Structure 1
Amino acid sequence: MVTFLQLNTIFLSMIMEAIPFILLGVMISGLIQTFLSERWIARMLPQNRYVSSLLGCGVGLFFPACECGIVPITKRLLRKGVPLHAGIAFMLTGPIINPIVLFSTYIAFGNDWRMVLVRAGMAIVVAYATAIAVSFLYPKLPLRQAELASAEIAAASDLSVPAQASLKRRLYDVMLHAIDEFFSVGKYLVLGAFIAASMQTFIPTSALMNLGHTPVTASLVMIGLAFIMSLCSEADAFIASSFRGTFSIGSLSAFLVFGPMIDIKNTLMLLAVFRGKFVIVLITLVAGITLVSSLIVGRLLG
């Protein structure tokens, strides 16, 4: 009975944390679909993969979305013609470098700007390196078949509401897109939250923490914890700060960077949009680069 109550509490807390940001994400997705044309995006984005990936890393500053809400925004941008590498760079950094998350990190670590800078800087490095790798590995969009068909239709003709349409009509169209996106994403949020809550309930955290005796295993343990716990990026810094007496700054940075980029909830959402092989490659790249970056951080600041 106690186990069921614990599972129920964790599950509901995840859902309640994520829903506001899912709503924000689908609303932004609807605005992008309705008000931004493919021609405008093509004009604004640099053709150079290195510059456009760097630009994608910086866009997250203006989108206060968590890892759950960022997936529908990224999907909409890709369907509007944003290059895959720029979309991936935005998707990975958006949940970390937005002002809300950086401020919560500052507060959680006792008004310490060092941890804020480490988290933001490492997130940009990991996202940028992953985006560049993806640009070489996947010259074509690795979307699922249904999403690929939609993207091809969008490329052939502008699906936005005509510019001359009334503002009322355009806002109505935003709401329609947002509602459709919400129900499309919501089922994966519920399933992911349930799996994450079950793993938290039945896999003791202490069993994982006992493995972290070396810098490498400590970072791997924190990456695993970040994936299993599937915390909202606005709150994970408070959990990370509670591990300060056990783990080094390097392994803590792995927790703070990997979790918002890849967790159980958004992995299921990614699988709904991208092909399974691409998702596996993406997770492997993010985990590998996060591990190496955390070891460097630990070496420099430990």
Structure 2
Amino acid sequence: MAYIKKTEGSLRKDVIGICLFLMFLVSFLFTEQIKQDPLMAKLPKMFVQFNTIFLSIIIETIPFILLGVFISSFIQTFVSEKAIAKFIPKKPIMAIVPAILLGFAFPLCECAIVPVVRRLIKKGLPLHIGAVLLISTPILNPVVLLSTYFAFRNHEAILYARMGLAIFVAAIVGTITYFLFKNRKELKWSKEELAGEAVSGATRTLSRWKQTFYHASDEFFDTGKYIIIGAFLASLFQTFFNRNFLLSIGTDDVRSTGLMMGLSFLLSICSEADAFIAASFGTTFSKVSLIAFLVYGPILDIKNALMLFAAFNTRFVLAFISIVTVVVFFSALCLKFIL
């Protein structure tokens, strides 16, 4: 009976994933035909705009998801628990420093980093170090820093403030996470994964590279459905939200900072491109609120929030979201005394 339930649950997930993937595929391949359909002509232009935004988010995100799941699968196959243990300093708080520095090395956005951190924690990485990587990597990686430089080449202080605030937030959140959760297990393990752990010896007959591709395929389809759902919700917001509301409160530091943090969550823009969006708000919002937008969005948006809830226990995700929100909000407001 347990096996039947497991199979039914797995089949349901696969069907949902395939349906979402087919929805994206039809929208992508038949965009022009859909636009020219007589029925579409009777619909408001906003529906066409929604389809365009939805596709652009998916197309922008998919390459980084692929990168993330392949790195995750490589870790699963080639990196041992002993190797990770050697990398981590014995003192938990001191281990935060190399984790932050690691953020400068990996070109992973907020979507791609979730499966990587999930895999590392399964291999023995402490939970609070995983939290640090979730914050530092999407902001401090070289691609994001370069895009921020070009977007704000006339305001380099915003680049340095983004880097500095990301490092500060990662250190504070990592420390708080350690004292709150210590080394408790907060990952979700599916029945399929537990069954896979029990029969892992059977997969060892495959070559390591074949194992890597099998893991990558499973993880891509498991992660992809959350990306599509997140892109769908973000597209709805971008299409139907009244942007004139933003202009009415753009000058107040407190309200505009909170608003821009909320906006970064809802827009769900990839961290490699968000600097150019933030720059477009430069004449409307204060520098403090723009920096909050640039730091909060890569840590939390609709897409990766769904992925976090799928990968971790709800208790941890709610705590992580709360701590990050409070720390980013108040530390961003403190920047107005420096900038």
Q: Which amino acid aligns with 1:242?
A: S
Q: Please give the TM-score of this superposition, normalised by the length of structure 2.
A: 0.82
Cα separation, partners in 2 of 1:150 and 1:91, compared to 1, 3 Å: farther
Change over 3 Å in CA distance of 1:245–1:143 after alignment to 2: same
Q: Is the 8 A contact 1:230 1:259 kept in 2?
A: yes
**Is contact 1:37-1:158 (8 Å) kept?**
no
What residue in structure 2 maps to residue 103 of structure 1?
146
Q: Which residue of 1 aligns with 2:124?
A: 81
1:255 pairs with 2:293: yes
Q: Which residue of 1 aligns with 2:259?
A: 221
SS at match of 2:93: helix
Aligned to 2:65: 22
Identity of aligned residues (%): 45
The AA in structure 2 aligned to 1:128 is A
Q: Confirm or deny: 8 A CA contact 1:78 1:151 kept in the other structure.
A: no
Contact 1:45/1:52 (<8 A) preserved: yes
Alpha-carbon spacing, 1:147–1:280, altered in 2? closer, same or farther (3 Å): farther
Seen in structure 2, the aligned counterparts of structure 1 residues 282 and 169 have a Cα distance that, compared at 3 Å, is same
State the match for 1:47 in structure 2. Answer: 90
Please tell me the residue identity of whatever aligns with 1:215: D
Q: How does 1:1-302 map to 2 (within 5 A)?
A: 1-110=44-153, 112-139=155-182, 140-146=184-190, 150=194, 169-301=207-339
Q: 2 CA distance for matches of 1:197 and 1:153?
A: 38
CA distance in 2, matches of 1:43, 1:152: 26
1:68-125 CA distance string (max 9 Å, x none) = 1111001000000000011110111111101010000000112543222111111111
Deviation at 1:210, TM superposition (A): 2.2
Instruction: Please say which of residues 188-197 and 288-297 is displaced more in the overlay.
Output: 288-297
Residue 49 of structure 1 aligns to a residue whose secondary structure is coil
1:266 and 1:179 mapped to 2: Cα distance? 19
Residues of 2 paired with 1:138 and 1:79: CA distance? Answer: 16
**Structure 2 unaligned spans of 5+:** 1-43
TM-score normalised by structure 1 residue count: 0.91
Offset at residue 149 of structure 1 (A): 7.2
Which is worse superposed, 185-194 or 132-141?
132-141
Cα gap change, 1:273/1:128 in structure 2, threshold over 3 Å: closer, same or farther? same
SS of match in other structure, 1:143: coil
2:252 and 2:48 mapped to 1: Cα distance?
35
Would you say how many aligned residue pairs link Structure 1 and Structure 2?
A: 295
SS at 2:95 equivalent: helix
Structure 1 residue runs of 4+, over 4 Å off? 147-154
Contact 2:250-2:284 within 8 A present in 1 as well: no
| 1:51 partner SS | coil
Secondary structure of the structure 2 residue equivalent to 1:65: coil
Note the alpha carbon deviations across 1:99-157, whole angstroms, 9 max, x for none: 01000000011254322211111111111111111111112022225389759959xx9
Question: Which string of whole-angstrom CA distances, capped at 9 and with x for unpartnered residues, describes residues 263-292 of structure 1?
Answer: 000000001011222212111111111111
Is the Cα–Cα contact under 8 Å of residues 119 and 256 in structure 1 kept in the other structure?
yes
Tell me the SS of whatever aligns to 2:125. coil
- Aligned equivalents of 1:194 and 1:281: distance in 2? 25
Task: Quote the offset at 1:158 in angstroms.
Answer: 9.1
